Structure 1
Amino acid sequence: MAYVGPAQRRQGVYCHEHWTPVGYPLLSSNYNYTVKDAFVEATLTETYQAQTNVERQVSYIFEVPPEASVVRFSAQVGNTKVEAIVDEKAEADRKYQQAQTAGVQAWKLDKVNDEVFQISLGNVSPKSTIIVRVTYVHVISSDTIEDSIRLTIPAGLAARPGVAPASQTTVPTAPTGANAITITVGIEAEGGAEILNLNSLSHHANITIGFSDDSFKALSPAQQHQVFDPRKAYVELTSTQFLRNHFVLVWTVPWIDQARCVVERLSPQITGKPQTLAFALTLVSNLRLLPEEHEYIFLVDYSGSMSGSRIQTANYIVKTMLTQLPTEKKSIFNIYYFNTSASSVIPGGRSLGYDTNNVSTAVSQLKASASGGTDINAALTTVLKQRNPSQPRCSIIVITDGLDWGVTAAMQTVQRNVTAAAAQAKLLRVFVMGLGDDVSRASRSFKSTTIGI
Structure 2
Amino acid sequence: MSECGICPSNPSRRNLYPLVKSSCAVSVVDVNIHAKLSQTYVSTSTEAEHVNYVFPVPSDAAVCAFTAVIDGEHTIKGIVKERKQAQRDFDTAVKAGKTAALLKHHTSQVFEVSLGNLKPQQTIAVNVEFISVIAHAGTNDSLRIRIPTSVAPFYGTPPVSLMDSHGVAYGAPFFDLSAAFQMTGNITSITSDTHPVACSLGSLTAESAETFDPTRAHVSLHTTELLRNDIVLELKCTGLDRPRCLMQRLCSTTSDEATDAYSLTLVPRFTASSIASQEYIFLVDRSGSMAGGRIRAVRDALHIMVRSLPSKGSTFNIFSFGDRCDSLWPVSVSYEKDTVAAAATHIDSLSADYGGTEIAIALQTVFDSRKSADGPSKKPVAVFVLTDGEAWDLQRVFANVDRAVKETDKATRIFVLGVGNQVSTEMCDGIARAGRGVATYVREQEKPDAKLVGLLKAARSTLVDQIVVDWGFPAELEADFEMIETAEAAAVAPQTDPAPSAAPLSLFDDANQPTETDQLGPQEEDVQLPAPPRIQQAPAREDALPPMYPGARCTIFALIRSQRDAAQPKSVQIIGNMNGTPVTLDVPVIAAPPELMPKEPETVPFIHSLAARALIQDLEDSATPAPLTAITKAKIARLGTTFHLASSQSSFVAIDERGETVPTKPDVSTISHASSRSAISSQEESDDDMGYGLFDGGDAAVPASAFSTVSRSRAAVAVEYDEEDADEMDQEMGFALYDGDDLSTVLAPALAPAEVSIDPAVMKQYQLELAAATAALPEEDDEFDFEPTSFASSAPLPAYVPPPPLLTMTNVAKMQQFDGSFPAEQSFIINDLQLGSIPSPPTMLTDSTNETKRALWHTIIALALLKKRFPSDEERAACEFLEAKAKEWFLDTLADAFSVSADDGEKLLQEWMQLASASV
Match of 1:133 among 85, 102, 127: 127
Post-superposition shift, 1:185?
Answer: 0.7
Q: How does 1:206-217 map to 2 (within 5 A)?
A: 206-214=198-206, 216=208
| Cα shift at 1:80 | 4.6
Maintained 8 Å contact 1:407/1:440: no
Asked whether the 8 Å contact 1:291–1:326 carries over to 2, the reply is no
- Choose which of 338, 343, 346 in structure 2 pairs with 1:362: 343
Q: 1:41 offset after TM fit, Å?
A: 0.7
**Secondary structure, counterpart of 2:317 in structure 1:** strand
Deviation at 1:408, TM superposition (A): 5.3
What is the one-letter code of the residue matched to 1:162? G
2:21 to 23, 28, 34: 28
**Alignment partner of 2:425: what SS?**
coil
Checking the alignment, whether the CA contact within 8 Å between 2:206 and 2:219 is kept in structure 1 is no
Structure 1 residue 397: Cα displacement: 1.0
1:420, 1:37 → 2: CA distance? 39
The one-character-per-residue Cα deviations of 1:120-165 (angstroms, maximum 9, x if unpaired) are 1112112211111111110001112111110011121122222235
In structure 1, the residue matched to 2:384 is 397
What amino acid maps onto 1:128 in structure 2? Q
Offset of 1:235 from its aligned partner? 0.5
1:337 & 1:284 partners in 2: Cα distance? 32
- Highest RCO, 1 vs 2 (Cα 8 Å, sep ≥ 6): 2
What's the CA shift string for 1:253-292, capped at 9, x where partnerless?
22322333222344xx774476444433335455625222
Check conservation: 2:134, 2:143, Cα contact below 8 A: yes
Q: Which amino acid aligns with 1:173?
A: Y
Most deviating of 97-106 and 231-240:
97-106
- 1:17 partnered with 2:4: no
* Paired residues of 2:243 and 2:267 also in contact (CA < 8 A): yes
The reply on whether 1:82 has 2:65 as its aligned counterpart is no
Between 1:392-401 and 1:359-368, the stretch displaced more is: 359-368
Aligned-residue Cα RMSD (Å) equals 2.4
Q: What is the aligned partner in structure 1 of residue 43 from structure 2?
A: 50
Greater fraction helix = 2
**Unmatched segments (≥5 aa) in structure 2:** 433-437, 445-920
For residues 195-228 of structure 1, the C-alpha deviation after alignment (integer angstroms, 9 at most, x for no partner) is: 1121122111111111123450xx3xxxx4xx21
Structure number having the greater strand percentage: 1
SS at match of 1:444: helix
What is the CA distance between 1:187 and its match in structure 2? 0.7
Query: One-letter code of the match for 1:393?
Result: P
The answer (yes or no) to whether the contact 2:8–2:14 under 8 Å persists in 1 is no
Select 2:306's aligned residue among 313, 316, 322. Answer: 322
Contact 1:291–1:328 under 8 Å retained in 2 = no
Match of 2:429 in 1: 444
**CA–CA distance in 2 between the matches of 1:308 and 1:68?**
30
Q: Specify which of 197, 207, 221 is matched with residue 205 of structure 1.
A: 197
Q: CA deviation at 1:381?
A: 2.3
Could you list the runs of 4 or more consecutive aligned residues of structure 1 that deviate by over 6 angstroms after TM superposition?
none
1:34 shift after superposition: 0.6
Cα 1:282–1:175 change in 2 (3 A) is closer
Q: Normalising to structure 2: TM-score of the pair?
A: 0.44
CA distance in 2, matches of 1:76, 1:43: 14
* Correspondent of 1:410 among 394, 397, 402: 397
Match of residue 114 from structure 2: 120
- Contact 1:300/1:398 (<8 A) preserved: yes
Q: Residues 374 and 258 from structure 1, CA distance in 2 versus in 1: closer, same or farther, beyond 3 angstroms?
A: same
**C-alpha separation between the residues in 2 aligned to 1:438 and 1:136?**
19
- How far apart, in 2, do the equivalents of 1:412 and 1:211 lie? 47
Task: Specify the alignment match of 1:249 in structure 2.
Answer: 233
- Quick check: 1:47–1:130 contact (8 Å CA) kept in 2? yes
Match of 2:180 in 1: 186
Is residue 2:270 matched to residue 1:279?
Answer: no
2:170 to 173, 185, 191: 173
Tell me if structure 2 keeps the 8 A contact 1:306–1:401: yes
Q: 1:195 to 1:51 in 2, by over 3 A?
A: same
Q: Distance in 2 between matches of 1:390 and 1:58?
A: 53
- Which residue in the other structure is 1:106 paired with? 100
The AA in structure 2 aligned to 1:90 is: K
Q: Is the 8 A contact 2:16 2:169 kept in 1?
A: no
1:265 and 1:46 map into 2 onto residues whose CA distance is 33
Query: Contact 1:31 / 1:42 at 8 angstroms: preserved in 2?
Result: yes
What is the CA–CA distance in structure 2 between the aligned matches of 1:270 and 1:28, rounded to whole Å? 40
- Output one character per residue of 1:5-29: Cα deviation in whole Å (capped at 9) or x when no partner: xxxx521111112443312121121
Change in 2 beyond 3 A, CA 1:312/1:44: closer
Give the aligned length. Answer: 425
Q: Is the 8 A contact 1:62 1:117 kept in 2?
A: yes
CA distance in 2, matches of 1:110, 1:141: 24
* TM-score relative to the length of structure 1: 0.87
Encode CA deviations 1:284-337: one digit per residue, 9 max, x unaligned: 4556252222111111111122234433432332222111023642x2111100
1:368–1:449 distance in 2 versus 1, CA, 3 Å: same
Q: Write the distance in 2 (CA, Å) between the matches of 1:90 and 1:175.
A: 34
CA distance in 2, matches of 1:289, 1:119: 50
Q: Assess if the C-alpha contact under 8 Å between 1:402 and 1:438 holds in 2.
A: no
> Which residue is equivalent to 2:327?
344
Rounded to whole Å, the distance in 1 between the matches of 2:318 and 2:204 is 47
Find the aligned partners of 2:136 and 2:263 in 1 and give their Cα distance. 15
Rg larger for? 2
Structure 1 residues 291 and 42: alpha-carbon distance in aligned structure 2, compared to 1, 3 A threshold = same
| 2:148 is the alignment partner of 1:154 | yes
Quote the offset at 1:238 in angstroms.
0.8
Please report how far the alpha carbon of residue 354 of structure 1 lies from its aligned counterpart in structure 2 after TM superposition. Answer: 1.7
